[in-house]
Structure 1
Amino acid sequence: MQFGVFTVGDVTPDPTTGRTPTEGERLQAMVTIARKAEEVGLDVFATGEHHNPPFVPSSPTTMLGYIAGMTERLILSTATTLITTNDPVKIAEDFAMLQHMAGGRVDLMLGRGNQGPVYPWFGQDIRQGIPLSIENYHLLHRLWREDVVDWQGQFRTPLQGFTSTPRPLDGVPPFVWHGSIRSPEIAEQAAYYGNGFFHNHIFWPKEHTQRMVELYRQRFEHYGHGSADQAIVGLGGQVFMRRNSQDAVAEFRPYFNDAPVYGGGPSLEQFMSETPLTVGSPQQVIDRTLTFRDYVGDYQRQMFLIDHAGLPLKTVLEQLDMLGEEVVPVLRKEFAARKPSHVPEAPTHESLRAQQQNAEGSAE
């Protein structure tokens, strides 16, 4: 099982000091977090994509390419690549380029995003969000697998005899996760292609997450990619830890209350009781995370949000130390002990390449 951290890249004032980092400071902090994630033994770092304040990561592949040169093992991913407002041709070329630069340590999560104003900025209509997602990924899927593509669709100009460059590393496209919080059509899309399904798992109660993952698993099996329990599932989640749970709650409360994605809603206590948000000791994070398997089944990737809402970099790095030293080693052991042998691990470039070579050998 893979463990990692993701960032939405918000530039938020620290409610305890009133200080707001500059955009440059926030971007450099995200790089530091990625490097620290590798140092403490995590598997994945993912950045969001946003084009509006208070968020700064507008060009994920630029950041991930920079991080690739500073790391050796870390898988570089996204916590949403906007399949609705990005040109699929540009996605195909950018991520294939990143593959080559990072030696294959690349995958991505596609999503519609949650910022409505972005659509007209990029010449699209938010009312077409689902059709855009479906059509644009169909083209992206072909661009990575066909050397020459002829294409005509609803949302972009036709392509005639087009070859995206560079070609995917070793002829193996980056693995794709389709991310969705509430859209069954996206779970269906992930299942149709045999790709991964990632549920953010932050805002909703477990019953909602369970329904979305069950739909994806059932449809994955329907399309002949394997049994339902072999489907590739990822979950998000946010944690904040201190040795003493009361200290964790007291320290995190002002950040929660002013957070761009939480503030003004239910109380911290209500949010912790009704969603997977876990604020407490490392043991509480371990215990809560292990319960996720009870309602989604064996899954392949667990990502944590730890740098949101103005938390200072020093505090975030302390969270990473606790994840790497105390939480993830236990989770690895426990999840591995419970996983049946027929349930696959998360795909990597190496495993996908071996799978492709086996398929080519069988066809000869």
Structure 2
Amino acid sequence: MPFMPAWENIVTPVEHAVAAFEPGLPLAVGFSGGADSTALLLACARRWPGQVHAFHVHHGLQVAADGFEQHCRAFCDQLSVPLAVRRVDARHASGESPEDAARRARYASFVELARETGVAVKDVALAHHADDQVETILLALSRGAGLSGLSAMPALARREGLIYHRPFLQLGGNEIRAWLRAQGVTWIDDPSNGDARYTRNRIRGTVLPALEQVFPQFRGTFARSASHAAQAQALLVELAEQDLATVGAPPAIAALQGLSRARQANVLRHWLLRMHRCTPSSAQLEELLGQVDACRTRGHRVHIKVGTGFVDRVGAVLDWYNVAPSAKPSR
């Protein structure tokens, strides 16, 4: 078999990335059959033989999806890696991003697959790399995102009881493919990756090559900027936790008015996300801040659409309800 040399010959960036990677074992690898996840699965299977599982999510979005699954099964058989497959309906609702719908379905599937393996899988490795990180930052910039969005993808994240690792975030996509070709390994080229209807694909095909010409070191510099944003965001979360303890949950209007406008925005955004899983748009947050400032009399009404519900004044506090105003409980 051309792709099973001794792991001790660590000479390439891919091998160095996995050598520096210290997950809990057994480890699951999210495996689509594409180049990046193929390289990650192969390197991890060499690094921890007998300790690696592959998770494949069949999204049901393409006719070729059955072929993707067959390819993944054949490759895992060659590596003697157990493969778990989950079929989902990842079609997006009207007005919803297809990529976001597929991403949510994928993460939900990983949780279910981890439960179904029969072994104590808590760590999942994902094959996102430096190009993916740059694309994520550019998409966040295009939406006018704050520090949370500009932080992009963390190397390690906890979600619904699982720990997600991204050991390839310092590697370019070309480095990964060059390594696979050197191993004599083939992979699936998803035809949707060339679909110009998706903004990420247009960034990959047009913007990244232009950045390569003008700023050859852009992957590393973008990664540093994302790291700085993540550190700053962590500080904002710490401050928001302190302020939330002061203003209360639901927050007291008078206590909010004692904070600067920037701290009001920070703690309200944190309260809505932490307590109600919703994020106000910039316009909604500005309107809410204006109403907090204007709320100086007992009869002043606050009623602002935020996410799928409303922020209302209820006596001396603000509260959020995911119901029509007529159905809101009285207090």
Structure 2 length as normaliser, TM-score? 0.29
Structure 1 length as normaliser, TM-score? 0.27
Structure with more relative contact order (C-alpha pairs < 8 Å, separation 6 or more) = 1
